[in-house]
Chain A
Amino acid sequence: MAKRIDVSGLTAYYSAHKAIEDISMTVEPRSVTAFIGPSGCGKSTFLRTLNRMHEVTPGGRVEGKVLLDDEDLYGQGIDPVSVRREVGMVFQRPNPFPTMSIFDNVAAGLRLNGSYKKAELADVVEKSLKGANLWNEVKDRLNKPGSGLSGGQQQRLCIARAIAVQPKVLLMDEPCSALDPISTLAIEDLIGELKERFTIVIVTHNMQQAARVSDRTAFFNLAAVGQPGKLIEIDDTERIFSNPSVQATEDYISGRFG
């Protein structure tokens, strides 16, 4: 069910500004790939090109190819809405729908895809909440608003919402940066479980986190402010953190950056 992502020659712009340039990489199914790099290097922008969220920003446009298995996400006649149903996303700050209950939050994506019977819906909601390790904490208050949960719980609710529609790929944009260490640990454990079923790409500023959760790590950098971000290298996480092949990567992960 999880799919491979194959990016070749991808360049993304904000109006005239080139944010990332000529990125090519392969992301294996059922693995966790972490994107690391300094602020402004374009790793979040790149992540957002993988489910066509980049073009939602005014002036955002993309050149290049992103293959999901064999289908080009930027091919002619491809509807970005259907792309996003295949490639789910979890954001930096937990963003449950404030006007919806916990149940409705998880069911939101399913309801977009068509009509479901009540029992069916309840079944998927329970499975998704269990999949996000949140079921035991919320099963008695499914009809309460999602905004009443703690930050960590809200983020797991957002993960449950994303996986409820059975995406092929799950993109996570710094999912723990607004959370405390214990909530972060809960999400990291969850990522370990989710990779059995999904292809996961995670952007993180926390290098320990990248080392803990990912199988592969990609390091992005930019030559100077205003220059486009580039992919410096991508390799097995172990190798990146022990013996990277590019000097800039070693400088960054060892803190000698500048």
Chain B
Amino acid sequence: MESTQITDTPPPTPQPVSAEQKRAARGATRPGDRIFLGLSRGSGIFLLVIMAAIAVFLTYRASLAISKDDANFLTTFEWNTGLVPPKFGIAVLAFGTVVSSIVAMVIAVPIAVAIALFLTHYAPRKLSGPISYVIDLLAAVPSIVYGLWGALILVPHMNGLFGWLDTYLGWTGIFSWQGGAPRSMLTVGILLAIMILPIVTNVSREVFRQAPQMIEEAALALGATRWEVIRMAVLPFGRSGVISASMLGLGRALGETMAVATVLSPTFDIQSSLLDPGGGTFAQNIASKFGEATEFGRDALIASGLVLFVITLLVNGAARMIIARRKEYSGANA
């Protein structure tokens, strides 16, 4: 208190005390503390700078392209950057990216949660170790390998499933099939599901493992069966963690390039059925066009990348909102 009074009125001599106190308040008076504070703060700032740099780069290059676009950038179904004036839009790409990712999530998340529950609450320890290891290995497979496997093994084997879906669920429109090669959004979604399964499983497993023992015992002592224990004490506790895990997976699915590019037969239109071949995603479109694109074509592709960036940010924001909404009840208060 005394020192702040002194520094309020300009002192005749410099007051080293006040600066010293400030540093002390941050717990950084010793050299080790100071170095660590500098390093950790520097890393934090570095991250923000990189994010800002990416955003600035994308926005600048995108604005160059969009300002010359003769069609509506968001709703146009074609991609002709070579025309004069150029016409291109991201409607097809946004549709394909979102649809393939949703298919992947719908397939992967329930399976991943089930595997995680099995590993943490059902499997004997001898079994859960090796299974976890194999799942970790699955995460280490490069995406191009998934892509090759998808194109060479998965695609030729999809006909049976597609026929079945068309016969029994074709009336919905979403699962009707005109008999084209199964290089469609559903195949892409299935492949993406396999690719994001390890990350969603691993994160969910860690979350379920941390479900507090004493809450599980409370449920058991009330006469809950194993499934009821999971429903009462594990799933509610793990909900926000599973959402985070799903978002990590979704992030990968949204941005996946090679696997999509090798499996999908790209066309620049939208199929109302998940089974009919065609469509495209942001990442796949950028990868397949970037090499031969002109300077302007590249700017247009970067503009589409900006949209992907924004979609990813929105998805993350939505996930955070879902998590925050139930904070009062979250397991963190246990």
Residues of A participating in the B interface, judged by any CB pair closer than 8 Å: 51, 53, 56, 58, 81-82, 84-85, 88-89, 91, 93, 95-100, 108-109, 112-113, 145, 147-148, 158, 161-162, 165
B236: chain A residues at CB < 8 Å are 97-100
Is B225 positioned at the interface, with any CB of A under 8 Å from its CB? yes
Interface string of B206-220 (1 = CB under 8 A from A): 000000101101111
Residues of B within 8 A of A109 (CB): 222-223
| B223 pairs with A85, CB closer than 8 A | yes
Task: Decide yes or no: A53 and B222 within 8 Å by CB, A98-B334, A145-B329 being known contacts.
Answer: no
Tell me if A56 and B222 are in contact (CB < 8 A).
no
How far is it, in angstroms, between the C-alpha of A147 and the C-alpha of B330 when the chains are bound?
10
Q: How many A-B residue pairs have CB under 8 A?
A: 77
CB-CB contacts of B233-264 with A at 8 A, as 1s and 0s? 10011010000000000000000000000000
Contact A99 B214 (CB under 8 A): no
A contact residues around B215 at 8 Å (CB): 95, 97-98
B228 interfacial by beta-carbon distance below 8 Å: yes
Judging by beta carbons under 8 Å apart, are A112 and B223 in contact? yes
8 A-B pairs in the complex with CB atoms less than 8 angstroms apart: A84-B222, A85-B222, A85-B223, A96-B218, A97-B218, A109-B223, A148-B333, A165-B222
The residue on B at minimum CB distance from A89 is: B221
CB-defined contacts of B219 to chain A, threshold 8 Å: 97, 108
CB distance from B226 to the nearest CB of A (A): 9
Of chain A, the residue at the smallest CB distance from B237 is A99
How many B residues, CB 8 Å from partner?
26
- What secondary structure prevails in chain B residues at the interface with A? helix
B293 within 8 A of A: no
Q: Contacts A99-B236, A112-B228, A145-B329 given: A56-B217 contact, CB under 8 Å?
A: yes
Given contacts A97-B215, A99-B330, A145-B328, contact A108 B237 (CB under 8 A): no
- Within 8 Å by CB of A93, from B214, B326, B328, B333, lies B214
B228 / chain A contacts, CB cutoff of 8 Å: 112
Q: A97-B236, A98-B333, A100-B329 are in contact. Are A84 and B223 (CB under 8 A)?
A: yes
Closest to B223 in A: A85
A91 vs B221: C-alpha distance when bound (angstroms): 10
Contacts A81-B224, A88-B222, A98-B237 aside, 13 further interface pairs with beta carbons under 8 A come to: A84-B223, A88-B221, A91-B214, A95-B215, A98-B330, A98-B331, A98-B334, A99-B326, A99-B330, A108-B219, A113-B223, A148-B333, A162-B222
- Distance in angstroms between the alpha carbons of A161 and B219 in the assembled complex: 10
Task: Look across to chain B and name the residue whose beta carbon is closest to the beta carbon of A145.
Answer: B329
CB distance from B330 to the nearest CB of A (A): 7
Say if the beta carbon of B232 comes within 8 Å of chain A: yes
| In contact, B222 and A98 (Cβ under 8 angstroms) | no
Quick one: closest A residue to B233, CB to CB? A97
* Interface pairs A-B: 7 shortest CB-CB: A85-B223, A99-B236, A89-B221, A109-B222, A98-B334, A84-B223, A95-B214
